[in-house]
Every structure is written in structure tokens, then in C-alpha cells.
Chains A and B, each alone.
Chain A
């Protein structure tokens, strides 16, 4: 098992997502709050990156910047080498609160992005059908969100994000509101889906186990100011089964990430070697 803290697997030229010197500040009364400071991060095509860190470390802000819902105060956020300006269908976003349209059925929710994109009805139907089946909701295609459990709602949101065929999925603590059992199920399904339909994924979580189980690479962030604290490569094989989850290698990685999250020294990074090469 290898475990490196110095990531040199990607570089700006080939990176799918490239965050360069991003700083984001908010004005609070008379005081400036630094949500993100000098964040540099490259994510390769079809890589699965998880971002974990204490609350206030700016992980959601980072995701919102990539989604185009917020703008950095300075620095650059690039997707496919182009500066992000506003949301775009090539970047699918999955929210913690599911954000399903409660007045639309599962099918209509999944079709939403296609409909506003002007896809003809028949094609829309077919595509929605495929992704509804992918997440196992075919029995509920005509049900309203209020009839679904939390896990089913999130699966519907995943189908909806996939339906517009994004090359990037940005997931903001998608399983955060679910119970532990449902969460483990959805993690396995998400990986299975990702194996079948490869996408570049940035997945935000506050759960260390989840971060290690899903990722090629775990980004640990720190707060005050929000910054990247450490990067942990996860060299565990896919498909990640229960055996992987219970393996000693997994345990070691988990301990390492755990330590980085819960025993951060204030105002420092865990050695300069841990941050990405552009730093």
C-alpha cells in the first residue's frame, strides 16, 4: 500500500478542474471573514476527489465557486481550461437538501434539465427513463417527492444531475442528512454508478469514513482561514467492497485522514509537501 501526501498525478495542462490561488472573503459587519485563502487544487478527468474538513473550512464555498453560484474574490477557477462564469450544464450539482422540485414527479424532476435545454419530448422521456432505472426508482417514476424517503430523494437528485450529461459532478454533503445504513448503501451505489458512467466527481463530506471509501484522493481542509491542509492519496482498488472497508489498509488511511481533520494545528498546514504542486 502506498500513501503519498505529495500529489503530482495531475498538472494544470490536463486538469479537468483547476483552482488557482482562490481567495474568498465575506464582509461581516466591520470584519472581513476569509472563507478561502490561497486554495490551489487540480482534479484530473474522471477522478473522484472528496473534500473533508471541519465546519467553516470553506468546503461548500469552494464547491459553489466551481458550480458558478459564487465568484471568487481573487484567483481563478477553471473547468476544461476555461474560467468559470455562472452555472453550466456540464457541471451537475447535488445538494444536501436534495432540492427536488416538490410539485414535479420523479420523472418530471429528472426531465427538468432536459426540458429547459430544449430536448424533444420523446428523447427526454427515454433519457429520464434510463437514469431513473439506473438509480432504481422505476417503481416511483410517477410519485411526488413527498412520498419518497430521504435516500430515494437523493437518488432522484442524482438521476436528475446525470440526465443532463454533465462531465463533472459536484456533490455537497449529499448523504449528510441520511441515516448510517442508507448512507453506506448509497455510497456503494454511487461508486457503482461512477464506475459505469465515469465522471469527474468532487464530493464534499464531513464524514471521514465516507471520504476515504469513495475517493481516489482526499483533500483535508482547515478553517480560519479556509485552506487546504493536507492531501491523502487513496490507493485502494475499485470496486470498493465491504472487504475494502474492513481492510487494515483502509483503517490506516482512515486514521491518517482522521488525524488531519481532528488534530489540526491552527494556522498551519501539515507540512508544505502535502499541498498540491501549484502551491
Chain B
């Protein structure tokens, strides 16, 4: 997916260069005082070498994946107690047909999304309060700095005692993981907003409210999205561990059960599914990031 994004970006840049060329042509004929647009002729490598580099990377990626699976397979056939790749696929189909895999995916995804969305939704306003108001920073910072040093999972025993073994404690630790990752990043984003942009808005007549909505929020969006990606990663990490402890269903729970019965194929299925789900969600966020923060200058 990343590749596709890069490509579109590339073609956009080409378009802008064409536009620049057109403007130069227009400027030379127009009677009004048009400045000649300085065409960007920075030392860009020729197209062909870029494309071939990209193709090369894809080929290498494929080779790497195939080789990895091959090694896995060879190890499995030579006495290691791994299931072979076909056995894992077979198991996945079997679990799917029994409806178990779907059930687990839904259960896990539900927990991750709930915790992650609540965490991000809480982190953004808190991060803004911390970055914008000294009072907010003074009140929130000690707690956030303190809890940041504790892995959310370390709170699980306490949370289980206080909140029981239902859905709430699991969602809560995921929430905490996502919140802490995102809040720090949002705060950094607000603090780092370019003073010149704020001054520019002020001299154009913007008051505090308008500066906040029209300058601070968009300027810190890249930081928020990075925080959300980190938060998502830590939400997944927390989920699996939380499900290992107590859950009626879920990918982590399934692994725990499979472990009891020495069912390695099921463990492999769960691991692969978690990896794929995490990757897909991360790429979706990356896509959002590219859409929302494409205005950034890349140096």
C-alpha cells in the first residue's frame, strides 16, 4: 500500500512541475508584471532508475517472504515441532468453517477498536489542554509521566480485582495503552506549533479561538496521527496479553486454549491473523496520515 501512496505522490509532483512550466510560459507572454516561476530543477534522479529501484524492492520483499516460509517448512519437516505451512492453512480453514475464527476475530477486534478509539478520543483533548494551557499541563503532566513508565499490562492484576473479569478490564487496559501513547504525541504536536504561524494568524486578525481551530489543530495533526499509530501498536500488544488471562473468546484466548491441548497449528493461525489485522489497521492509519498530512514539506 505504501508503494501505491508514494507513486501517487510522485505523479502529483510531476503535475505541479508541469504547472510550473506552464506558468513560466504564461509569464513571458503576459503584459502584467509576472514573476518568472523558478522551476524546480533539483537534482532528481531520472525516472527509470527510481522505478527499477522500486521493482527491486518488491522482488526482494517477495524473495524474503518465500525464503522465510521455506525455512519454516524445512524446519518443520526436520524434527522441529512446528506445523508445516499447509497444516496451518488447513487449520485456518477448519476454524473458519466451524465459525470459531470469525468469532475470535470479532471479539479481539471489538476490544482493540473500542479501547483504541476511546483512548485516542480522550488523548487528543487532553494533549491539547496540556499543550495550550499551563494549568492543563501542570495538572495532567505528573500523572501521565508516572503512568507512562508503567506498562499497562502491569496494571492488569489490579484492574481485574477492581473491575472483575468481564470485558471492561480488558478494554480498560487497552484504552490506557492507546491513550498514553497518543497523549504524549498530541502534547508534543501542540507545543511544537511554529510560533511564526501563530503570529501570522494574529496579524491577520485571528483571535485565540480561531488560532486554535485554524492553526494549532491542523499543525499538530501529523503528531496526533503518529501518536495514534504508536497507540494502535501498543493496543494490540496489550490485547493479546489481556486475553491470555481471562476471556470467553478472542485470538489470545484461542492461543491459550490451544496451548493446553498442544495444538500448535491453532497457535500459528492466531499469530498470523493478529499480524495481518495489525498490519491492515496500521496501513489504514498510514493512508489517513498521507491524506490528512500530505501538505507537509519533505526534506
Answer yes or no: B210 CB below 8 A from chain A CBs: yes
For B10, list chain A residues within 8 Å (CB).
Answer: none
Question: In the assembled complex, which residues on chain B have CB atoms less than 8 Å from the CB atom of A249?
Answer: none
Chain A residue numbers with a CB within 8 Å of B27 are 136
Q: Which of A89, A91, A116, A188 contacts B33 (CB 8 A)?
A: A188
Shortest CB-to-CB span from B190 to chain A, Å, is: 15
Complex-state Cα separation, A220 to B200, whole angstroms: 26
CB contact list, B17-34 vs A, under 8 A: 19-20, 22-23, 26-27, 30, 32-34
* Closest residue of A by beta carbon distance from B39: A149
- Bits for A182-193, please: 1 = Cβ < 8 Å to B, else 0: 100110110010
Q: Knowing A101-B215, A136-B34, A147-B16, say if A112 contacts B295 (CB, 8 Å).
A: no
* Given A101-B218, A140-B23, A143-B19, A87 contacting B37 (CB threshold 8 A): no
Q: Of A112, A160, A186, A192, which is in contact with the most chain B CB atoms at under 10 Å from its CB?
A: A112
In the complex, which residues of chain B have a beta carbon less than 8 angstroms from the beta carbon of A86?
A: 202
List the A side residues contacting B203 at CB < 8 Å. Answer: 67-69, 87, 89, 91-93
**Which of B23, B204, B293 is the one whose CB lies under 8 Å from A112?**
B204
* A192 and B33 form a contact (CB under 8 A): yes
Do B199 and A146 have beta carbons less than 8 Å apart? no
Kindly name the residue among A97, A139, A143, A161 whose own CB sees the greatest number of chain B CB atoms within 10 A.
Answer: A139
> Which residues of chain B (155-206) have a CB below 8 Å from chain A?
194, 196-197, 199-206
Chain A, 229-259, CB within 8 A of any chain B CB: none
Interface string of B276-299 (1 = CB under 8 A from A): 000000000000000001111110
> How many chain B residues touch A (Cβ–Cβ < 8 Å)?
42
Complex contacts, B38 vs chain A, CB 8 Å? 149-152, 182
Contacts known (A99-B196, A136-B32, A147-B16); A164 close to B296, Cβ less than 8 A? no
CB nearest to A157 among chain B residues? B200
Given A139-B22, A146-B297, residue A155 in contact with residue B35 (CB < 8 A) = yes
Interface residues of A in 87-144 (CB under 8 A from B): 87-89, 91-93, 95, 97, 99-104, 112-113, 116-117, 133, 135-136, 139-140, 143-144
Q: Footprint of B on A, CB under 8 Å?
A: 67-69, 86-89, 91-93, 95, 97, 99-104, 112-113, 116-117, 133, 135-136, 139-140, 143-147, 149-152, 155, 160-161, 164, 182, 185-186, 188-189, 192
Enumerate chain B interface residues (CB-CB to A < 8 A).
13, 16, 19-20, 22-23, 26-27, 30, 32-40, 194, 196-197, 199-207, 210, 214-215, 218-219, 221, 293-298
Q: A93-B200, A140-B23, A149-B39 are in contact. List 5 more A-B contacts (CB 8 A).
A: A67-B203, A69-B202, A86-B202, A136-B35, A146-B295
11 inter-chain pairs at a CB distance below 8 angstroms, sorted by A residue, are A68-B203, A69-B199, A87-B205, A99-B194, A100-B200, A101-B197, A146-B296, A149-B20, A149-B39, A152-B37, A192-B33
Q: Would you list the 9 A-B pairs with minimal beta carbon distance, nearest first?
A: A113-B204, A136-B34, A99-B200, A149-B38, A89-B205, A147-B16, A139-B23, A93-B203, A103-B295
